[in-house]
Amino acid sequence: MDASLIGAPPRRPSAARRLLPYLLSLPALLVCIGILVPFFTAVYYSLQRFRLSQPWNRGMNWGENYLAFFSDPGFWNTLEVSLVYTGLTVGIELVLGLSIALLLQRRTRLNNAISILLLLPLMTAPALAALMWKLMTNPNFGIFSYFATVLGFEDFRWGSSPDSALFTVVLVDVWVYTPFMMILLLAGLRSLPQQPFEAAALDGVPRLVQFWRITLPMLTPHILTATLFRMLESIQQFDIIYAMTQGGPGDTLMVFQVEAYLDFFQSTNVGRSAALLLILWAITFFLSNVFIKNWLRLRERAGGEA
Amino acid sequence: MYDKEKDLIDAFLRGQMDRRALLRGLGALGVTASTAGVLLNSAATRAMAADFDWQRHAGTGVKLLLNKHPYTDAMVANLDSFKELTGMEVEYDVFPEDVYFDKVTAALSSRSSEYDAFMTGAYMTWTYGPAGWITDLNEWIGDPDKTNPAYAWDDMLEGVKASCAWNGRPGGELGSPDAKQWCIPWGYEQNNLSYNAEMLERIGAEPPRTMAELVEVAAKATKDLDGVYGIGVRGSRSWATIHPGFLSGYANFGEKDLNVGGDGRLSAAMATDGSKAFHRQWVEMIRNSGAADWSSHTWYQVGTDLGAGKSAMIYDADILGYFMNGGGNAMAGKLAYAPFAPNPGTEAPTPNIWIWSLSMSEFSRNKDAAWYFLQWASGPEHGLFGARQMDFVNPVRKSVWADEMFRERIASNYPGYVDMHDVSAPGASIKFTAQPLFFDLTTEWASSLQKMVAGEVGVDEGLDQLAASVDRQLKDAGLG
């Protein structure tokens, strides 16, 4: 060390250097503002009696919009439909996605080609996929209506009947999003360490037992991640349902996003629309927390075991 | 233009010569009918410019928000006349109807000054007007300094004109003396019967004249014609399901959507015995003779099914039947039209109407210039141009409906259309009660209808539930 520097006062960093941390965090700050401003605006609107067509009636009602939901059967129907839709789509897509991923687990050229081909539905915009399915299920000329008739389901009305509307939109969702589950789980499967499987094979452990006792526990963090992503998207479903039935027939498919959209753009009821969306946010926040906590717990356990 | 042709057209515009004589004269000079139309339009533009300072806003411009529609096509085809007449520039954005009204709501609710004027329906002005997004056009219509003396506001069909004016009081009568003119009618649709004449002949049926006959003929068509259903009506979960044939028939039986009390309070009127009887008949008709996917049918499916020969009749906008009788539609030339009064106790139809109208944005920075565009686009000359040379049907002006060239063109290609219009026009108006919850209540009505058709709820019970819900919403909004 240079002796002349000993005891010298530390050199003041230049202005640019002092500003650097703030400059580096500026993008994050801007993004944060971009998210928080609309969020708190929505909170503010949700606490108001605010209908664009009745500006003279606008005023704070301090949570009346939320209280009104308790006595509104339409809201409970929306909650139920949203949760059922989410449960069904995520559940089916998980089982199908995992099954396909297991089939494609071995790295062969054929499996790689198939996994790429299976991704094609995911590249279709969901609204377009819904319109495509709407045509394919048209009772006059739809190919699926024809198959339904051949299979003995005369006059099967797909999205037009309350009995089959949920089945129809779930089918479209599964078609679009199963590849998403498949690709995440396939990546997870292929990243698993091989030693436990080799040891189990040497010990003659049956494949099914290997799956339940080794594959599934080791894959659980990936399953949780994939399920969380899909669940968040599914509970906020809009395009498939709106494009196919606009939430009908009746209120059969009236999920949160469709109802909030109609409340705003058709009824211009900003207060109710904002309150609905904040409840949806609260549900997704709660579910995300549950999933993330479990995911962290599993990771810690995996770290401890290692 | 050659002097002889010019003299002939000027004489026609002065009323010194009828249309036949004009065409004969032009024909003798070697001018074809289509060229005659162009010459006439050009001469009309010159005549318009004679008595009014159309150039006052020369050098400025307006921007329009438009829906993709034949009315828009007709306007765009004639836009050079406006530019030549006024020296103004016109910009426009055109969106398909699926997203159009969302664009309008977004532009207006954000108080954007991007658009000076836009297309709208009269029902929408029940939201836009009270919200303070659009301008009361009475100020311009009544100002002789800003409005061409030849604009002829009284030439507009009465019921149509009145339907675009509301005083803003929930339940207030449309077209009342204190009403504000929120929009200018541009083109309109009556809801009547369009039918496939060949199919009805094949099953040996006459065009139905009452609701009972409609149910019967629709059922017979479904039964006797392979792969065809009897009656096309809208069924999607939208307010648009209620306003066409459904409300026209409903109103013809004297039924209403809402009661307006002496104190101005509103209450549901759809749980009466008469309403229940009508709903029962309607629901049965759809179950027996409607499209299998009725609950997803918008105007588009209703129209295209008729044009493709999938349905025998529609009870919907007359212009749907008009457009399906031309172009590349499989059934082109086979469709016919009939005025429809479902209630045997009434003399004439009372169709509810949809009016494509023009409104001025309250946030426009150039309202006077915007009014110049509005009065030109809704004026008699453009109306005549569109009716004669484009598909600008139905015109909203009496003078256009009286035009021989237009009537002959329609009568020769669209059998029964002119008669249907003439019989129905006196009773044609908006049958809804004007109030700000229009879209909430009619959408819920459509949803209830879907439940009734699906058998999820009985008609009587469904209407009682609907009425209770409507009353609750009216009360919550301070209207009931």
DSSP per-residue codes, B156-187: B-HHHHHHTEE-SSTTPPTT-TT-EE--EEEE
Q: Tell me if B207 sits within 8 A of B195, measured CB to CB.
A: yes
Where chain B has pLDDT below 50, the residues are: none
Ramachandran quadrant class, A255 (left: phi over 0; alpha: psi -120 to 50; beta: rest): beta
Q: Token digits for A95?
A: 């089982």
Kindly report the nearest CA distance between residue B237 and chain A, in angstroms.
Answer: 6
pLDDT for A54 equals 85
CB contact under 8 A, A266 and B477: no
- Among all chains, which residue has been given the structure tokens 């104190």? B263
Q: Tell me if B67 sits within 8 A of B100, measured CB to CB.
A: yes
Given a cut of 90, is residue A113 above it in pLDDT?
Answer: yes
Q: Token digits for B55?
A: 């150039």
In whole angstroms, give the CA distance from residue B134 to residue B182: 7
Inform me whether the C-beta atom of residue A53 falls under 8 Å from chain B C-beta atoms. yes
Q: Token digits for B136?
A: 């009361």
Sort out which chain B residues have CB atoms less than 8 A from A247's CB and list them. Answer: 237
Q: Token digits for B364?
A: 């426009």
Contacts of A35 (CB under 8 A, 6+ apart): none
Inform me whether the C-beta atom of residue A136 falls under 8 Å from chain B C-beta atoms. no
CB contact under 8 A, A51 and B132: no
Residues 106-165 of B with CB under 8 A from A: 109, 126-127, 130-132
Nearest Cβ partner for A54 among B236, B238, B477: B477
Sort out which chain A residues have CB atoms less than 8 A from B456's CB and list them. Answer: 162, 250
Kindly report the nearest CA distance between residue A121 and chain B, in angstroms.
Answer: 24
Q: Token digits for B372?
A: 């110049």
In whole angstroms, give the CA distance from residue A85 to residue A293: 24
Q: Token digits for B353?
A: 């109407």
CB contact under 8 A, A161 and B109: no
> Would the ipTM clear 0.85, i.e. be above it?
no
Strand-strand pairing, B165-166 and B180-181? antiparallel
By CB neighbour count within 10 A (0-12 exposed, 13-18 middle, 19+ buried), where does B257 fall? buried
- Radius of gyration from C-alpha coordinates of chain A: 26
Nearest Cβ partner for B456 among A134, A162, A269: A162
* Residue A248 DSSP SS3: coil
CB pairs under 8 A between A and B: 97
Q: Tell me if B11 sits within 8 A of B5, measured CB to CB.
A: no
AA letter at A249:
P
pLDDT for A259 equals 96
Strand-strand pairing, B61-67 and B117-121? parallel
Kindly report the nearest CA distance between residue B140 and chain A, in angstroms.
Answer: 24
AA letter at A214:
I
Q: Tell me if B205 sits within 8 A of B221, measured CB to CB.
A: yes
In whole angstroms, give the CA distance from residue A19 to residue A279: 40
CB contact under 8 A, A54 and B238: no
Kindly report the nearest CA distance between residue B297 and chain A, in angstroms.
Answer: 9
Exposure pattern of B269-293 as b/e (b: 16+ CB <10 Å)? bbbbeebbebbebbbebbeebbbbb
Sort out which chain B residues have CB atoms less than 8 A from A158's CB and list them. Answer: 293
Angstrom CA distances, B124 to A76, B334, B367, stand at 29, 35, 20
CB contact under 8 A, A246 and B238: yes
Nearest Cβ partner for A248 among B105, B227, B450: B450
Q: Tell me if B218 sits within 8 A of B256, measured CB to CB.
A: no
CB contact under 8 A, A269 and B443: no
Task: Outline where B14-141 has alpha helix (H).
Answer: 19-28, 33-50, 70-77, 79-86, 97-109, 122-131, 138-141
Q: Token digits for B9?
A: 């057209």
Residue of B nearest to A58 (CA): B477
In whole angstroms, give the CA distance from residue B311 to residue B289: 9
Inform me whether the C-beta atom of residue A130 falls under 8 Å from chain B C-beta atoms. no
Residue range A69-95: mean pLDDT, rounded: 96
Inform me whether the C-beta atom of residue B454 falls under 8 Å from chain A C-beta atoms. yes
Exposure pattern of A147-182 as b/e (b: 16+ CB <10 Å)? ebeeeeeeebbbbbbbebbbebbbbbbbbbbbbbbb
Nearest to B382 by CA among B94, B80, B62: B80
pLDDT for A55 equals 86
Q: Tell me if B233 sits within 8 A of B294, measured CB to CB.
A: yes
CB contact under 8 A, B478 and A139: no
Among A156, A242, A246, A261, the strongest candidate for a mutation testing the B interface, having the largest count of B CBs within 10 A, is A246
Q: Tell me if A289 sits within 8 A of A228, measured CB to CB.
A: no
Q: Token digits for B342?
A: 């479902």
Q: Token digits for B383?
A: 């109306």
Inform me whether the C-beta atom of residue A194 falls under 8 Å from chain B C-beta atoms. no
Element housing A195 (H / E): helix A195-202
pLDDT band at A306 (very low <50, low <70, confident <90, very high): very low
Nearest Cβ partner for A139 among B105, B292, B451: B292
Out of A85-94, A188-197, A211-220, A239-248, give the one with best mean pLDDT: A85-94
Q: Tell me if A160 sits within 8 A of B450, measured CB to CB.
A: no
AA letter at B99:
V
In whole angstroms, give the CA distance from residue B390 to residue B402: 17
Kindly report the nearest CA distance between residue A58 and chain B, in angstroms.
Answer: 11
Inform me whether the C-beta atom of residue A41 falls under 8 Å from chain B C-beta atoms. no
Sort out which chain B residues have CB atoms less than 8 A from A140's CB and list them. Answer: 227, 292, 305, 310
Inform me whether the C-beta atom of residue B238 falls under 8 Å from chain A C-beta atoms. yes
Lowest mean pLDDT among A11-15, A87-91, A109-113, A184-188: A11-15
By CB neighbour count within 10 A (0-12 exposed, 13-18 middle, 19+ buried), where does A14 fall? exposed
Residue range A144-167: mean pLDDT, rounded: 92
Residue range A194-220: mean pLDDT, rounded: 93
pLDDT for A1 equals 46
As a 3-state breakdown, chain A gives helix, strand, coil percent values, each rounded to 5, of 75, 0, 25
Residue of A nearest to B238 (CA): A246
pLDDT band at A12 (very low <50, low <70, confident <90, very high): confident
In whole angstroms, give the CA distance from residue A33 to residue B316: 50
- Among all chains, which residue has been given the structure tokens 């009972």? B212
Measured at the alpha carbon of residue A98, what is the angle toward residues A95 and A100, in degrees to the nearest 5?
105
Measured at the alpha carbon of residue A239, what is the angle toward residues A235 and A240, in degrees to the nearest 5?
85
In whole angstroms, give the CA distance from residue B368 to residue B298: 37
Nearest Cβ partner for A246 among B105, B236, B294: B236
CB contact under 8 A, A249 and B451: yes
CB contact under 8 A, B296 and A247: no
Q: Token digits for B316?
A: 């919907």
Q: Tell me if B242 sits within 8 A of B439, measured CB to CB.
A: no
CB contact under 8 A, A250 and B451: yes
Q: Tell me if B75 sits within 8 A of B358, measured CB to CB.
A: no
Inform me whether the C-beta atom of residue A61 falls under 8 Å from chain B C-beta atoms. no
The DSSP output letter for A255 is -
Element housing A168 (H / E): helix A165-191
Element housing B229 (H / E): strand B229-232
More confident site: B21 or A2: B21
Sort out which chain A residues have CB atoms less than 8 A from B450's CB and list them. Answer: 162, 248-250
Nearest to A233 by CA among A82, A92, A104: A82
pLDDT for B18 equals 60
By CB neighbour count within 10 A (0-12 exposed, 13-18 middle, 19+ buried), where does A287 fall? middle
